[in-house]
Structure 1
Amino acid sequence: MRDIKSYWIEAIQEIKEFQFIAQIEDEELSTINKHIKDLISDQFIETATEDGIARREKMLKLVPFADDTLESRRFKVLSRWNDNLPYTYRVLVQRLDQLCGKDGYTMELNQGEYTLKIKVELTVKRMEQEVNQMVHKMVPANLIVTVELRYRQHKELKRYTHAQLRAFRHRELREGDLKL
């Protein structure tokens, strides 16, 4: 944005009082421009500011944890924002695509055994919990639902020695079944 005094005639631009007025007006105009940009950003959950997410959290009666980041708060709001009945398999896939991305999860539905297994590529524990809550809310009660991280975490491997783990490739350690 240009300085406000650049719009004035030269005779006024040189007067000290008007220079002071221009400085104050420029600060006010930049504050107004920032508020306008924030209002535009707050229209969408993906780009919302702290205030925009706080407003939606209040509407949804969500209480963020003290150590939640803006991104995790956005994720939680997004997972609750589009709660519409009826829930179908297609709607579940759309919601998971929206939250995790198309390649951010795998889902196996075994209709014969009434099981649904979802593995998500999320590293933040609370995001995994949010997906778990959403899925349990959406799927029928007669399905056994399992939501877990897609890749094996270090805490699962620390009970083995390095000599035992050396027999496997990195991908097998991360995704495969360990038969030691």
Structure 2
Amino acid sequence: MDREINTINYLPDFLKEFREFGALAEAENPELLYAWDVYEELLKNQFVNDSGEPGVKRWEAILGLLPKGSDTLDIRRFRILARLNEKLPYTRRILEQQLAALCGEDGYLVEIRNGEYTLAVRVAMAAKAKFEEVGSLLRRIVPANMVIDLSLLYSSHSKLAGHTHAELSTYSHEQLRNEVF
């Protein structure tokens, strides 16, 4: 924050006349600016969305998360928020709320196959970077007697039907299947 700190303004008028107090005030001004900057940084690090590198490291240590070398600060914040959003009871509705927070409202599909004791979760290609975190979330909250079937929700014919063959011919089959259009 841009602060103007001039401690000489806080001195009584008769002390402002002394050269020593003026020099003392000038020496204190940078120290007070530094103290304000440190305070603001500490305040930001209390909130995950505003945290910088030191705050994110602190949250990761508290929650026992290990960042990957390729993770950006936003991905690390995302993992912290994902861990903080876990809560009991683990109902389908709570699971869908957590998946919506992680992947977006249209970023996943959930299907419970009761007869097979299977939970099928499909993560949309747009949320592909968060696939591993979704798997970690499911391993922590899905009951141990259920099989987790987690995969990506690839592009289907219905998503590509609006494009002509000529438009799609510039892409490989793998690109059509794995990329977001």
What TM-score do the two structures reach when normalised by structure 1? 0.67
Number of residue pairs aligned between Structure 1 and Structure 2: 159
RMSD: 3.5
Q: Distance in 2 between matches of 1:60 and 1:40?
A: 19
C-alpha separation in 2, matches of 1:32 and 1:95? 38
Aligned to 2:127: 122
Question: Hey, what does 1:62 align to over in structure 2?
Answer: 65
Give the corresponding residue for 1:158.
none
Does residue 147 (structure 1) correspond to residue 151 (structure 2)? The answer is yes
* Residue matched to 1:159: none
Correspondence list, 1:133-172, <5 A: 133-140=136-143, 141-148=145-152, 150=153, 165-166=168-169
> Identity of counterpart residues, as a percentage?
32
Separation in 2, partners of 1:97, 1:13 = 64
Counterpart amino acid of residue 48 in structure 2: I
The one-letter code sitting in structure 2 at the alignment partner of 1:108 is V
The one of 79, 82, 85 equivalent to 2:82 is 79
CA offset at residue 32 of structure 1? Answer: 1.6
Tell me what 2:176 maps to: 173
Which of the residues 18, 30, 33 maps onto 1:27? 30
Unaligned runs of 5+ in 1: 153-161
Question: Is residue 109–residue 123 contact of structure 2 (8 Å, CA) maintained in 1?
Answer: yes
Secondary structure, counterpart of 1:84 in structure 2: coil
SS at match of 2:127: coil
**1:151–1:23 Cα change, 3 Å:** farther
